[in-house]
Structure 1
């Protein structure tokens, strides 16, 4: 019997790896769909979920870009063979992954991007410089910084403009500002007022102003006084000799008078108002102005106001006696004020008004730490005002951190020279300077002011002029305070014809009828040049400024700044400045792109922030200060 046929074994089915992967993906897709409606979702591996999400995104991208038509059978399936690697927006797997290295991709992207111009690179570098320069702690009191105290509302004074000024439309206000070339920046700016009487000044103040020959306000006073009287924080920028001192002195007088009439000060109280100045001479001058107006108020029957001068070189005993009576206003230099505050001989408990005269020098001239220390003694909010003829963008941005809803009042470009000054620039060899100085003194009648960069030159010039029979006096930082005051007094009253000085006499000092300013040498910063020549041509009068230049000993960047400053003021530019290599087209291109003309660090017009000599000098000073002269971390470090 024939044996029964054995059933053949089931054939073994073999799968390709790609088929298995496709089957697993289909299963995972089905599981993921079911898991959306199920309460107990089954776990899907991360890699599979990622692939499914990529497929969904590819569909959306293809649909939005319109790469495939709706009737294309492969449009619904991202794995369709008609979908090539070029049209796939995202790599699907190892089989379709781009084989190019990251370096090649980066190189191709660089070629596709437009190449940056030299101006774009320099502007990018400037932005980086400004970012690092402005990375400073806000100019506030230590307690305010620690508690993150932020004031949002300005101080209130009770002063309001007359009704007819309040009813002026914004177009009418702007027409007045345009006539006076006033540029403002801020919110809810008070209207400009074109006469002192409408500012509601006491009659005795008006008479004193008229006696001094001040019959109508200057442009900075037309807009600055209403802003200050209204209690608003302010940055005031105007050319030298424009009357900025009255803008902060008169409101401080009225605030102190208001406090005294409400509740008289008792022993040890005060001040109500505080003015900080960078030099003793400027502080003394401001104190004299305040004293004159306080005397006028007292003669007219108003309560007595006591101003005080706080500066080095003055007997502290006299200052202590005034403080004991109660002081209404204090004009100070930072060093002596800091000393009195730390010794608790003076306090700022009721002080509500703070003014920084020559604010760029106060904030950026080595007084920053003193300013922070002084601000820490305030017990409450204060109205803060800052004034200067030169206010670079760097200083303004940092100073604004101390202000509340500030208003900026600008008359002319910050750092521009006074147009009433005739500027003459002469090339003079070093050995011929003294002889040529005698010739320059013959240009105009006295008084004449001579500036030199260092104290040694001041003494040499002073001695030379005395030998030649010229009635001259000199001041600089190494002289005794009594001698400095005597020299300035003799120069002001006409006893002496020539004053030789360093830059301590260049900022803020008001000398009557200065006919001629001589710069024995060009200063290291263009800001100092603007302040020097601003001692003449004040209050609408004209003056002459002569500057000696020796191109060997002067930085070319400063000479370019001077060249552009002369062009801006429409002055004669000497041939040796015209011969300088000036990248004018590049400067104009960067100014058009950035919206800022010149340097944002020092305000010079002949260079940008990347070549600023002031910033370079600061960096060199910081490097010297941090240099390890002994090695291994200092004298006591490990060897």
Structure 2
């Protein structure tokens, strides 16, 4: 029996074609479609969604939807690419971009960044210049103080453009809100007639630039930073307002025992405090003789017996002139308080901070019970000190006459190369340049005594003053020199800060100071109040090249003659955009190699080890 099997025939499909690979193609890469075609396809897709293939009602809306979907797609693709990268790749990319940015920087940019870091590190450790209670409680004054003083109506009506023209005429720069108008006449400042006569007798016919703008600011009750070259009349700019405020308070309600003061002036040295005190006492007596109320001034400096001041304290007093150390001591012993004190002036403010009195000033501020008007004055106040000081001020006004740290244009500066062993002999020749009086500066106390002894042996009438002498010896030297009994004063830096000696013809720097600021202060003892003077400075191989470079730039700024040996010194920072040191204002170096910064660090270390500079006590 045979069986028959039925088989179904099926068509065999050909094997799938093998893909062809090319080294030029990317794996699984889709064909590129231009953006325009993708958008047209997307529009067609969106249009087809409408019922019955109706026409697109709002073409603009569809285009916006198409663009949005396109952006979302691109973002998703970009995200996929980013997630595909490892963290190591991202770090390498960041490093690569940073390297490119660093390579694009110039040397000047890198130096500027380095200086900013150093300056920030200097400021980081500083506490605000305010009292301990104010810092602890977070007390911040926001409203400025007001006074009863107003400028004349015609001055108030001047436009700001007219005020700016006056400031431009006298080279006055101001910063701050609502700056009071400058007043070029003492009469328009509403000063009493006895004071006008007193100024006239001293041959002060018109206010100097710092007085022209500074006095209206101070009379208005505004906080202020005053910067002007030496011999420009800064002392009068802060003494007159305090005297007028004291007279006003005494006339309103007479002071009795235990009351006072109205205001305080703090100075870095005893001699400067004594000079300021004498000026206030003289003006106060003239006002009393003219029938005005009697105002009393207390002097608080080291080296004098405060029992001598007890009579003034027993009657109540209006003004205090002091050095930081002694004033702090009197306040801590509760000899008097600052409950009613509304006026605080720091003369040579930057020098005080540099000399190590910053903590003393902060402690003094702790004794104030209410807001006060604060004024800071100096000839050399670099921006670092200005920024730091403004923390203690309320809406301050900065009044700047010339560059901070610049020398007076009325001084003829002569720099001479003299070997160390030849200085004494050449000193006698230099004294022949002008008639006396003359001041000779040296930064070494022993050298000061040696110079005085040598001059006395040569028949020159000379006195000496430095920090190691007693207060009686210091006061005798200054009095003898001021009255003309002695022709020459040999001094250390203690006599360079603000002291006003009339008719000084010649200043000799026997030793060039290490810091250019000290040089500016020392030569500033001559060429004061518009008069001309000569400053001769000895330099040699022992003078640091960096100091000589600062001196060179200072002479160039003042348009002085530059000797060949000084002109030959090359500036390593030339062409790098260096604009001087932001720490001390020197023009020949940057903050990275600032001698003052090194000295401050040395002083800080000495303070931690128990040492303390009490030169102004």
> Which TM-score band (shorter chain)?
0.7 to 0.9
SS of the residue corresponding to residue 385 of structure 2 reads helix
Q: Which residue of 1 aligns with 2:544?
A: 555
SS of the residue corresponding to residue 619 of structure 1 reads helix
* 1:553 Cα offset (Å): 1.7
Paired with 2:74 and 2:324, the residues of 1 have a C-alpha distance of: 75
- Give the alignment partner of residue 385 of structure 1, picking from 372, 375, 380: 375
Q: Which residue of 1 aligns with 2:575?
A: 586
SS of the residue corresponding to residue 329 of structure 2 reads helix
Are the equivalent residues in 1 in contact too, given 2:414–2:536 (CA < 8 A)? Answer: yes
Q: Does 1:181 align with 2:150?
A: no
- Give the alignment partner of residue 141 of structure 2, picking from 132, 135, 151: 151
Q: Does 1:104 align with 2:86?
A: no
Aligned residues between the structures: 551
Are the equivalent residues in 1 in contact too, given 2:438–2:505 (CA < 8 A)? Answer: yes
Q: What are the equivalent positions in structure 2 for 1:275-424 lying under 5 Å apart? A: 275-424=265-414
Task: Provide, for residues 531-574 of structure 1, a one-character-per-residue CA deviation record: whole Å limited to 9, x for no partner.
Answer: 00000001111100000001x32222111110000000010111
Paired with 1:461 and 1:279, the residues of 2 have a C-alpha distance of: 23
Paired with 2:69 and 2:211, the residues of 1 have a C-alpha distance of: 77
Q: Does 1:567 align with 2:556?
A: yes
* 1:97 Cα offset (Å): 4.2
Paired with 2:566 and 2:503, the residues of 1 have a C-alpha distance of: 30
Paired with 1:484 and 1:388, the residues of 2 have a C-alpha distance of: 23
- Give the alignment partner of residue 613 of structure 1, picking from 595, 605, 609: 595
Are the equivalent residues in 1 in contact too, given 2:550–2:586 (CA < 8 A)? Answer: yes
Paired with 1:149 and 1:566, the residues of 2 have a C-alpha distance of: 46
Q: Where does structure 2 lack aligned partners over 5 or more consecutive residues?
A: 1-34, 46-64, 611-617
Q: 1:306 to 1:89 in 2, by over 3 A?
A: same
Q: Does 1:70 align with 2:39?
A: yes
Are the equivalent residues in 2 in contact too, given 1:133–1:394 (CA < 8 A)? Answer: no
Q: What are the equivalent positions in structure 2 for 1:152-551 lying under 5 Å apart? A: 152-550=142-540
Paired with 2:431 and 2:587, the residues of 1 have a C-alpha distance of: 30
Paired with 1:67 and 1:611, the residues of 2 have a C-alpha distance of: 63
* 1:502 Cα offset (Å): 0.4
SS of the residue corresponding to residue 89 of structure 1 reads helix
Q: Which residue of 2 aligns with 1:125?
A: 114
TM-score after normalising by structure 2? 0.86
Paired with 2:385 and 2:36, the residues of 1 have a C-alpha distance of: 55
* 1:103 Cα offset (Å): 5.0
Task: Provide, for residues 147-200 of structure 1, a one-character-per-residue CA deviation record: whole Å limited to 9, x for no partner.
Answer: 111111111111000000000000000011111111000110111111111100
Q: 1:570 to 1:265 in 2, by over 3 A?
A: same
Paired with 1:76 and 1:325, the residues of 2 have a C-alpha distance of: 91
* 1:91 Cα offset (Å): 2.8
Q: 1:105 to 1:306 in 2, by over 3 A?
A: same
SS of the residue corresponding to residue 222 of structure 1 reads helix
Q: 1:103 to 1:383 in 2, by over 3 A?
A: closer
* 1:280 Cα offset (Å): 0.5
Are the equivalent residues in 1 in contact too, given 2:338–2:367 (CA < 8 A)? Answer: yes
Q: Which residue of 2 aligns with 1:34?
A: none
Of 571-580 and 609-618, deviating more is: 609-618
- Give the alignment partner of residue 576 of structure 1, picking from 541, 551, 565: 565
TM-score after normalising by structure 1? 0.83
Q: 1:305 to 1:624 in 2, by over 3 A?
A: closer
Are the equivalent residues in 2 in contact too, given 1:448–1:515 (CA < 8 A)? Answer: yes
RMSD of aligned C-alpha atoms? 2.4
Paired with 2:572 and 2:380, the residues of 1 have a C-alpha distance of: 24
Q: Which residue of 2 aligns with 1:18?
A: none
SS of the residue corresponding to residue 384 of structure 1 reads strand
Paired with 1:414 and 1:221, the residues of 2 have a C-alpha distance of: 16
Q: 1:626 to 1:480 in 2, by over 3 A?
A: closer
Q: Which residue of 2 aligns with 1:29?
A: none
Paired with 1:253 and 1:466, the residues of 2 have a C-alpha distance of: 42
Q: Which residue of 1 aligns with 2:581?
A: 599
Are the equivalent residues in 2 in contact too, given 1:364–1:395 (CA < 8 A)? Answer: no
Are the equivalent residues in 1 in contact too, given 2:354–2:600 (CA < 8 A)? Answer: no
Q: 1:97 to 1:321 in 2, by over 3 A?
A: same
Paired with 2:495 and 2:36, the residues of 1 have a C-alpha distance of: 76
Paired with 1:416 and 1:443, the residues of 2 have a C-alpha distance of: 25
* 1:78 Cα offset (Å): 13
Higher RCO by CA contacts (8 Å cutoff, separation 6 or greater): 2
SS of the residue corresponding to residue 440 of structure 2 reads strand
Paired with 1:625 and 1:139, the residues of 2 have a C-alpha distance of: 19
SS of the residue corresponding to residue 88 of structure 1 reads helix
* 1:480 Cα offset (Å): 0.7
Paired with 1:606 and 1:77, the residues of 2 have a C-alpha distance of: 61
Paired with 2:608 and 2:240, the residues of 1 have a C-alpha distance of: 45
Task: Provide, for residues 14-56 of structure 1, a one-character-per-residue CA deviation record: whole Å limited to 9, x for no partner.
Answer: xxxxxxxxxxxxxxxxxxxxxxxxxxxxxxxxxxxxxxxxxxx
* 1:320 Cα offset (Å): 2.7
Task: Provide, for residues 463-494 of structure 1, a one-character-per-residue CA deviation record: whole Å limited to 9, x for no partner.
Answer: 11111111000000110101110111010011
Are the equivalent residues in 2 in contact too, given 1:452–1:521 (CA < 8 A)? Answer: yes
Are the equivalent residues in 2 in contact too, given 1:232–1:383 (CA < 8 A)? Answer: yes
Are the equivalent residues in 2 in contact too, given 1:134–1:397 (CA < 8 A)? Answer: no
Paired with 2:485 and 2:167, the residues of 1 have a C-alpha distance of: 42
